[in-house]
Structure 1
Amino acid sequence: MSTIVVPSSPTGVLGDAWRRCVGTGRLNLALRADHQESLALVQSEIGFRYVRGHGLLSDDLGIHRPYDVAGHRGTRYSFTYADQVLDAWLDLGIRPFLELGFMPSGLASGDQTVFWWRGNVTPPRDHGEWAALVQAVVRHAIDRYGLDEVRRWPIEVWNEPNLVNFWQDASQEAYFRLYEVTAAAVKDVDAELQVGGPAISPGADDWWQPFADFVTDRDVPVDFLSFHAYTTGPAQHVPFGTYQTLRDPQSLLDQFATPAKLLAGSRLEGLPTHVTEFSTSYRPDNPVHDTPYQAASLAPVLVGGGDLVDSFSYWTFCDVFEEENVPTSALHGGFGLLGHRQLRKPAFHLYAFMARMGTQVLHRGADHLVTRDDAGRVTVLAWQPVGGTDAPDEPARHELRLSLPVPGAGRVSVHRSRVAPEQGDVHSAWRHLGRPGSPTSRQLDLLHEASEPVRSLTSLDVVDGRVTLDLTLDRHEVTLVEIDAVHDETPAWLDDARILGRQVAAQGA
């Protein structure tokens, strides 16, 4: 096994594109205790900057309230629920990435809906009333949180309008009109507010040039671009679940890079670019989300995605999420980093590992990232490279040897945290318990305990300012190694050989 010699001087800086945004279920779900407790946990261990979800304007959040009673007719805007959601998010240090959708029923031009909770996906029957709604939302936010704060909130127009499920007839013409009206409404409130789109799904690259042409020809404001990326194929349905083929994780990075290539030379070239949804599967009931494979496949994406886009938002931070109806079991293949009751999945640990790394990048490879923080602590994130459905099965072991520049002299401590099948793997633990739909308190305790990474603490000798770190990773493993200088305070009279009370024979006796 060859040794990778990691340089002593930084080669770059680890940015925060990987945790700049995260997804959530429809905003009404943020009123639930499980959602709030999950977000608090995610923020304490990862610290996302923004959160994005559907349904800001849907009926269940209750903002748009038309009335016609006793000769009184008009529209009232109610922010009772929206305020509770945004207040809670901001209190936890996370800002909204506002997605404007879906259509309130009192403003909708039709009755087509999506999801179990029936988000309306038709254009507004009156674009002037839509503009007034958008402005009411923005002005209320400014009044409540201040202009400087709201200027930091990206405002995204709709969600996946290229799909007939999310936008009636997937009409470009109708979406472009909605985008133009919305952008003008936002800018009429304040020219420095950020508005963008088109929030298209994978496979919709043929939308980029028409969108660029439209906003250029009509001089429509665009402050950022947004789109989605997934690696799975068509759904293979079973009762209350889905299986899908998987593409190589590199396909996510290829999708991240595509818009910049297609828009080179256009007016949109160089704009901030946000992947406002990404994961392996686009289904909320695919068990791959709950497995160590999910973490191993996304490790190179978290490490390399910031080279290509300004943010990429994991879909989603928790399983408090309802699209295909209410989930039927505690673990059900949901999108979340966390399952219900804050059960930590392997992908959660991947993000938590990244959050513990330094900002000085010393080395990057196909299976590792090495960083250092300002205190000199060296961290190594390592993973077994994985492929997709068409790739051969990954081997049972993956080996890596690194020569690392380390702080101090003498010895360093080596703290390792591991996640792999049967190690820090809540899905395997749940399977061993018989896949209980509603775990008892005892079973929840066991699942929480089993979901913790396997940890060890050892030490290594420093030779000429370096240590050699040999890592053997299990199949689909993601591991974090943290290396700190040891300041030995062992008194001279201590002798660990005598812990059992036995006398050590005198030398030469």
Structure 2
Amino acid sequence: MTATVAVPAEPIGTLSDAWRECVGTGRLNLALRHDYVESLKRVQREIGFKHLRGHGLLSDDVGIHRPYEHGGERRVRHAFTYADQIFDSWLELGIRPFVELGFMPSGLASGDQTVFWWKGNVTPPADEREWVDLVTGVVRHLIDRYGIDEVRTWPIEVWNEPNLTHFWQGADQAAYHRLYEITSSAIKDVDASLQVGGPAISPGSDEWWGPFADFVERSGSPVDFVSRHAYTSGPSQHVPFGVYQTLARPETLLEQFDAPRRHLEGTALAGLPTHITEFNTSYRPDSPVHDTAYNATYLAPVLASGGDFADSFSYWTFCDVFEEENIPTSIFHGGFGLLGHRQLAKPTYHLYTFMARLGAEILARGADHLVTRHADGRLAILAWQPVDGTDAGAASHSLRLALPVAGPAASVHRLRVSETDGNAWNAWRDLGRPHHPTSRQLDLLHEASRPTVEQRAARAAGGILNLDLTLSQHEVTIVEIDPVRDETEAWIDDARIPGYAQTAGVR
């Protein structure tokens, strides 16, 4: 028998907005594409993230660093033709940049090592003075175009995962510290109130925290926030155009969110804001788990509690317009995105839209639920089937809540995604996994991607409404409880409507 969770009438806390402070994106050049912009419009309309972070601002395909020769001298022009279009479009949609400074322009690079299909250069600058001029030029241009008060709200992160040889030549810690020192100083020389931080390290390299704190204290380099990434997937089992991976427990993500606080305790960086500037289940852009309902129910407890451990945690990424491992060969390909191509909503996307419908007051939380209340008294409950990262979980999961409500009558509105509800990936499998769906197939996939809706009336007794929920496999659900004021006139008699004689009065 399922035990009843008695939900108190008084709040036990406030729901943090850390889950939507930031979201990730593919390299910035992709923001010039139609599918990308249409996806971002939908994301902002239905979720509303505050910041957007991605690689490649300084890479060649954005075209900021433009060396040339004139009069026998090497000179550099800073060109913002594409950067302005990118940031203008973001701001028009109500989302601000979380600026990542990288990768190295080829005309300034000290070597030819690159990462990804699109060849982001990961070597230190050949000329530190020219790098400082580039950073200074970028920051001053942003201030000139958008205003100092606006740009002060944009965190600026120095590089990406320098602890990995793929992203920073030799994973040279001393070289990264030097890059951070000259970059952060250049930013603060423009305006001391601008936010700068790092080191944006990947999971498995927490040994970087101590040396980074020591370096900052020794050099006096400014640090306004610290940043880290979090993933829980194991080694890749490669197949053509994809990988399979195991996952650790969902709680492992929360432990990673909390790692900077633990490792920096007692250092000069203790207590600084922590931004998890990338997180997901798998770190691969071609891991099928991203497209599944399992991904959503796995991440539900992380979104519900992540704000207890970090000031922001940025889902990597908002859409599948993303090309690190070349151009995708199929509409579903295990991409990071909340939205697939053509704005196909994945179950994890709906988890985020459910979060956007929650209230600010937390009344109760547990291993399978989060109960919230809006300022007008409406209740919003997020519930999910617990999973552990290794198996399918039970075929169903039950939850019983005793909820405090005002008045005897309530409306119960429920949205659900699961293996069979709101699951475009599952419908795609049923269609034979078409690589390039026809218009008819795309329509079917969009219809299948919509959460199932349930609506019913409920009665409360003594100010308590008992809510029994049965969740199917890999389900995430939101239930909204609205108080009802009955305005039915005395002459209304539904039994007189043909077809309703036997059902009148049921509600």
What TM-score do you get using the length of structure 1 for normalisation?
Answer: 0.97
Deviations 1:267-290 (A, max 9, x none): 000000000000000000001000
Instruction: Provide the rounded CA distance (Å) in 2 between the counterparts of 1:366 and 1:330.
Output: 34
From the superposition, tell whether residues 264 and 494 of structure 1 become closer, same or farther in structure 2 (CA, over 3 Å): same
- 1:405 alignment partner in structure 2: 404
Instruction: Provide the rounded CA distance (Å) in 2 between the counterparts of 1:502 and 1:115.
Output: 63
Of 416, 419, 423, 1:418 maps to 416
Instruction: Provide the rounded CA distance (Å) in 2 between the counterparts of 1:415 and 1:482.
Output: 5
CA RMSD of aligned residues (A): 1.2
> Which letter does structure 1 place at the counterpart of 2:466?
T
- 1:299 alignment partner in structure 2: 300
> Which letter does structure 1 place at the counterpart of 2:405?
V
- C-alpha deviation, 1:498, in angstroms: 2.7
Instruction: Provide the rounded CA distance (Å) in 2 between the counterparts of 1:429 and 1:339.
Output: 14
- 1:493 alignment partner in structure 2: 491
Instruction: Provide the rounded CA distance (Å) in 1 between the counterparts of 2:324 and 2:290.
Output: 16
Q: How does 1:186-197 map to 2 (within 5 A)?
A: 186-197=187-198
- 1:361 alignment partner in structure 2: 362
Deviations 1:98-139 (A, max 9, x none): 000000000000000000000000000011100100000000
Deviations 1:274-332 (A, max 9, x none): 00000000000001000001110101000111001100000000000000000001111
Matched, 1:171 2:172: yes
Instruction: Provide the rounded CA distance (Å) in 1 between the counterparts of 2:193 and 2:338.
Output: 34
- C-alpha deviation, 1:438, in angstroms: 1.2
Q: How does 1:247-396 map to 2 (within 5 A)?
A: 247-389=248-390, 392-396=391-395
> Which letter does structure 2 place at the counterpart of 1:192?
S
- C-alpha deviation, 1:15, in angstroms: 1.4
- 1:202 alignment partner in structure 2: 203
- C-alpha deviation, 1:502, in angstroms: 9.0
Instruction: Provide the rounded CA distance (Å) in 1 between the counterparts of 2:354 and 2:439.
Output: 28
- 2:7 alignment partner in structure 1: 6
Instruction: Provide the rounded CA distance (Å) in 2 between the counterparts of 1:501 and 1:152.
Output: 60
1:319 aligned counterpart, secondary structure: coil
- C-alpha deviation, 1:69, in angstroms: 4.6
- C-alpha deviation, 1:393, in angstroms: 3.7
Of 406, 418, 437, 1:439 maps to 437
- C-alpha deviation, 1:492, in angstroms: 2.1
> Which letter does structure 2 place at the counterpart of 1:496?
D
Of 466, 480, 483, 1:482 maps to 480
Deviations 1:161-181 (A, max 9, x none): 000000000000110000001
- C-alpha deviation, 1:83, in angstroms: 0.2
From the superposition, tell whether residues 502 and 367 of structure 1 become closer, same or farther in structure 2 (CA, over 3 Å): closer
Contact 2:423 2:448 in 1 (8 A): yes
2:419 aligned counterpart, secondary structure: coil
1:370 aligned counterpart, secondary structure: strand
1:60 aligned counterpart, secondary structure: coil
- 1:134 alignment partner in structure 2: 135
5+ residue gaps in structure 1?
505-509
> Which letter does structure 2 place at the counterpart of 1:101?
G
Instruction: Provide the rounded CA distance (Å) in 2 between the counterparts of 1:502 and 1:464.
Output: 31
Instruction: Provide the rounded CA distance (Å) in 1 between the counterparts of 2:472 and 2:76.
Output: 60
- 1:19 alignment partner in structure 2: 20
- C-alpha deviation, 1:462, in angstroms: 1.5
Matched, 1:467 2:468: no
- 2:505 alignment partner in structure 1: none
Q: How does 1:102-251 map to 2 (within 5 A)?
A: 102-251=103-252
2:335 aligned counterpart, secondary structure: coil
From the superposition, tell whether residues 27 and 503 of structure 1 become closer, same or farther in structure 2 (CA, over 3 Å): closer
Instruction: Provide the rounded CA distance (Å) in 2 between the counterparts of 1:5 and 1:501.
Output: 40
> Which letter does structure 1 place at the counterpart of 2:93?
L
Instruction: Provide the rounded CA distance (Å) in 1 between the counterparts of 2:87 and 2:418.
Output: 36
Deviations 1:254-276 (A, max 9, x none): 11111111111100000000000
> Which letter does structure 1 place at the counterpart of 2:151?
V
Worse overlay, 475-484 or 430-439? 430-439
5+ residue gaps in structure 2?
503-507
> Which letter does structure 2 place at the counterpart of 1:356?
R
1:455 aligned counterpart, secondary structure: strand
Q: How does 1:53-92 map to 2 (within 5 A)?
A: 53-69=54-70, 71=72, 73-92=74-93
Worse overlay, 136-145 or 65-74? 65-74
Worse overlay, 493-502 or 145-154? 493-502
Instruction: Provide the rounded CA distance (Å) in 2 between the counterparts of 1:2 and 1:249.
Output: 24
> Which letter does structure 2 place at the counterpart of 1:33?
H
Worse overlay, 488-497 or 88-97? 488-497
2:61 aligned counterpart, secondary structure: helix
> Which letter does structure 1 place at the counterpart of 2:16?
G
Instruction: Provide the rounded CA distance (Å) in 2 between the counterparts of 1:176 and 1:246.
Output: 32
- C-alpha deviation, 1:487, in angstroms: 1.9
Identity of aligned pairs, percent? 68
Deviations 1:50-100 (A, max 9, x none): 000000000000000000156453100100100000001111111100000
What TM-score do you get using the length of structure 2 for normalisation?
Answer: 0.97
Matched, 1:427 2:456: no
Contact 2:494 2:501 in 1 (8 A): no
